[in-house]
Structure 1
Amino acid sequence: MYLNQTSSMTKKFIFFALLVVILPFQVFASEEGSHEAFDLNEVIVHHLMDNAEFPFNIGGVKVFEGESGFDSSKETIFTDHETGKRFHFTGGFDMHITKRVTMMWIVALLLFLIFIPAAKIIAKDPLKVQSRFANTVEVFVNFLRKDIVDESMHGHGHGYYHYIFTLFFFILFCNLMGLVPSVGELVAVAGEATGVMHVDHHNLPWIAKVWSGITVTGDISVTMTLALLTMFLIYTAGFIYQGPKFIWHSVPNGVPLPLYLIMWPLEFIVSPLAKTFALTVRLLANMTAGHVIILALMGFIFQFQSWGIVPVSVIGSGLIYVLEIFVAFLQAYIFVLLTSLFVGLSMHRH
């Protein structure tokens, strides 16, 4: 009974998500139809690229539309909700809140709302199963602690539990939240369909901009930052557990001096950089590829304007969407597993 209900809810969620994905294509196609042919590449770029949602500038001056100095070609143009006029900032230091920053804040809030209550429930009696909610959290945490951190760091990972746990759940939630339909797209589609509001990113109400549905881990600046933290831990753990000897212990004993001089920069400098690059690209590519495929499959319907391709596009997108859910968990697991392995290797001499 429970499995049937879960399966039914999953099917409804996937159908709803696909519906939200395909509706903006319809609006975009009808809007572009009056000017030029439907451009699939433009739609994909629009859905994947980050942009500013809420204005925040330090020391700058607002320049409104119609005033001298207003540049309509600027990327960061906002709409004043009191006057309805468009504006941008001139000078100052731009710190605009983007879609990905907003989604990261949402993910951080969700982590607080989930894990703080779960920790309080578990702390009441750690030996007793308090609830399904707390038990589910505990299963994930125990798996990360025993099968990833302790195994990779050979029992020396106690000081890294909190970081690895936070890293895993942050990446996981960022991946999953990128699969949830955008509120902004829903509002824009509804407004266009009813004629109440023209589809324009700058005119969306602030509540619709909060949940953009963008994948945070689909940005190289995010994945690179997480990977650089791993590289920092590699060096930190090496010096903590080996001391200054970590500098020359990166090359195994018995290596001839001429070969040592070649291997040392490769092992001590190039190797951590290569690991950082691999972590960055792996997470970025996997979390971007699935979204591109789904958008491309849906875009084919309007690109070719044929009913014959509709079943193929919808079924294919549905299958890729299910695969993306699996990939969201898999990539979070792989990232923390490799992080634990890399840090664990730096703790001991080769």
Structure 2
Amino acid sequence: MLAPAVVAADDDGPVFHAPSLDEFYPGALLFEGTPFELNRIMAIRLIVVAVLVIVLLLGTRRMSIVPRRPQAALEFALGFVRNNIVIETLGEKDGRRFMAPLMTIFFVALGMNITGIVTPFNIAGTSLIGLPLVMAVVSYVLFIYAGIRKHGARFFKNSLFPAGVPAGLYIIVTPIEFISTFILRPVTLTLRLLMNMVAGHLLLVLCWSASWFFLFGLLPHGDFIGLLGAGTVAFGFAFTLFEILVAALQAYVFAFLAAVYIQLALADEH
């Protein structure tokens, strides 16, 4: 939450409090103390899902050969994901099979990420580990499913015992392959998205809180150091634009890597 970080702690004037990880653990909004407790981030996630469903319904209502603006915008977005992530990576045949889950991953990640710069949300739905982890697990299941569906048990054998490696080296190679293929992939998918959203939020909170501190905490007290607020405001706007880019880029990277992992599972060498 981009709230003012200025408090009058003593007679010396306002005191600046830097943002902390407490930002990501807001209090309950509804149903406090029950299994259905709903905090601000959970509410954001539910709102994003509802908005995505509404946008898709409106964009696909009364579809025509000559599309109206909602249909054209939706077709552009879906076409971008289809052509640049799914088909480009998996090809036409396999791309059609995995189109729906990869599309879902991309648009859920994008919608959740972009709330980090949308007032009054101001925090990404992916800034807690739960949602990035769920999407990484879905990607992991798709990857395993694709490999088993095409290659059967040989998928695991060929993943852990790559061809062409001298038998004596398998004692080193196999643990490395197991960790890199079956553990690090979901872990890195999760942490890459999570850390980018956490860092982006803290950076924005720092810029806007510092702006509030300088302009409304120091300047009214006649402290001209408060003029530095002009610089922090500029940085705040710049980092807001940058965060929009990061939100879109991380959604693209997540969906693209999920598609790449599926493609690797389908590769003939397995």
Residue 149 (structure 1) aligned to one of 58, 75, 86: 86
Residue 183 (structure 2) aligned to one of 260, 273, 290: 273
Asked whether the equivalents of residues 44 and 296 of structure 1 are also in contact (C-alpha less than 8 Å), the reply is: no
SS in 1 for 2:164: coil
Structure 1: stretches of 5+ with no match in the other structure: 1-19, 59-93, 183-211
Residue 105 (structure 2) aligned to one of 159, 162, 167: 167
Mapped to 2, the partners of 1:316 and 1:104 lie a distance apart of 28
Alignment of 1:153-232 (within 5 A): 153-155=90-92, 156-182=94-120, 212-232=121-141
Code of the residue aligned with 2:77 in structure 1: it is F
Mapped to 2, the partners of 1:317 and 1:249 lie a distance apart of 50
Residue 242 (structure 2) aligned to one of 308, 323, 331: 323
The Cα shift of 1:117 comes to 2.4
The Cα shift of 1:269 comes to 4.5
Matched, 1:54 2:30: yes
Residue 49 (structure 2) aligned to one of 101, 105, 108: 108
Mapped to 1, the partners of 2:58 and 2:127 lie a distance apart of 30
1:7-51 CA-to-partner distances (Å, cap 9, x unmatched) read: xxxxxxxxxxxxx94xx31xx52465689963523x444434343
Code of the residue aligned with 1:176 in structure 2: it is I
Mapped to 1, the partners of 2:103 and 2:205 lie a distance apart of 32
SS in 2 for 1:321: helix
Mapped to 1, the partners of 2:268 and 2:250 lie a distance apart of 29
Code of the residue aligned with 2:147 in structure 1: it is G
SS in 2 for 1:116: helix
Code of the residue aligned with 2:264 in structure 1: it is L
CA separation of 1:150 and 1:33: change in aligned 2, threshold 3 A: farther
The Cα shift of 1:261 comes to 3.9
RMSD, aligned CA: 2.5
Asked whether the equivalents of residues 59 and 71 of structure 2 are also in contact (C-alpha less than 8 Å), the reply is: yes
Alignment of 1:1-350 (within 5 A): 21=2, 24-25=3-4, 28-30=5-7, 32=9, 38-41=15-18, 43-55=19-31, 57=33, 94-122=35-63, 125=64, 128-155=65-92, 156-182=94-120, 212-250=121-159, 251-301=161-211, 302=213, 305=218, 306-350=225-269
SS in 1 for 2:15: coil
Mapped to 2, the partners of 1:237 and 1:229 lie a distance apart of 12
Code of the residue aligned with 1:219 in structure 2: it is L
What is the TM-score when the length of structure 2 is the normalising length?
0.85
Decide which moves more: 332-341 or 276-285: 276-285
Asked whether the equivalents of residues 16 and 210 of structure 2 are also in contact (C-alpha less than 8 Å), the reply is: no
SS in 1 for 2:29: strand
Structure 2: stretches of 5+ with no match in the other structure: 219-224
The Cα shift of 1:235 comes to 1.0
Mapped to 2, the partners of 1:260 and 1:46 lie a distance apart of 46
The Cα shift of 1:340 comes to 0.4
Asked whether the equivalents of residues 99 and 214 of structure 1 are also in contact (C-alpha less than 8 Å), the reply is: no
Asked whether the equivalents of residues 298 and 314 of structure 1 are also in contact (C-alpha less than 8 Å), the reply is: yes
Q: Percent identity?
A: 25
SS in 2 for 1:121: coil
CA separation of 1:108 and 1:323: change in aligned 2, threshold 3 A: same
Aligned residues: 258
Mapped to 1, the partners of 2:202 and 2:88 lie a distance apart of 36
What is the TM-score when the length of structure 1 is the normalising length?
0.67
The corresponding residue for 1:16 is none
CA separation of 1:314 and 1:267: change in aligned 2, threshold 3 A: same
Mapped to 2, the partners of 1:51 and 1:221 lie a distance apart of 17
Asked whether the equivalents of residues 300 and 309 of structure 1 are also in contact (C-alpha less than 8 Å), the reply is: no
Higher relative contact order (CA 8 A, sep 6+): 2
Asked whether the equivalents of residues 145 and 161 of structure 1 are also in contact (C-alpha less than 8 Å), the reply is: yes
